[in-house]
């Protein structure tokens, strides 16, 4: 299961990069949705999603934006693999929705 392995990899990255933050894994929201991770850092709530796919889409951004809205989070981060293509229009859409896109060293 590629996605589960990538999620575990991202979880380890979060523990290293954000060691002073609390990380909640796969919390079911009232809507029934389940973001990969929710971080609590310095009185900020951050939604984190891990996407191991060929191409990131606006739908992926909408998904994380929905999590942000439901939890009234401050912003989101989407971690992607080194082979994930992110069109400029998707990057721009992410920025408008307060979502950062972070590339990892994860490869095929």
* pLDDT tens digit sequence for 3-55: 789 999 999 999 999 999 999 888 777 888 889 999 999 899 999 999 999 99
Task: List the domains of the chain with CATH numbers.
Answer: 2-103 (3.40.1350.60)
The pTM of this model reads 0.92
| DSSP string over 64-105 | HHHHHHHHT-SEEEEEE-TT-B--HHHHHHHHHTTEEEEE-S
Residue 106, pLDDT > 80, answer yes
Residue 83, pLDDT > 90, answer yes
Residue 1, pLDDT > 70, answer no
User: Average of pLDDT values for 59-86?
Assistant: 96
Mean pLDDT for all residues in the chain: 93
Strand pairing category for 44-51 and 37-41 = antiparallel
- What's the rounded Cα separation, in Å, for the pair 3 and 15? 18
């Amino acid at each position: 299961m590629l996605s589960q392995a990538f999620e575990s990899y991202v979880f380890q990255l979060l523990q290293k990069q954000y060691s002073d933050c609390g990380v909640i894994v796969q919390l079911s929201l009232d809507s029934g949705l389940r973001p990969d991770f929710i971080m609590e850092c310095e009185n900020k709530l951050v939604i984190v999603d891990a996407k191991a796919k060929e191409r990131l889409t606006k739908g992926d951004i909408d998904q994380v934006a929905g999590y942000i809205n439901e939890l009234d989070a401050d912003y989101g981060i989407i971690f992607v693999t080194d082979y994930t293509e992110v069109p400029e229009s998707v990057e721009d859409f992410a920025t408008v929705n307060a979502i950062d896109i972070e590339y990892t060293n994860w490869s095929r």
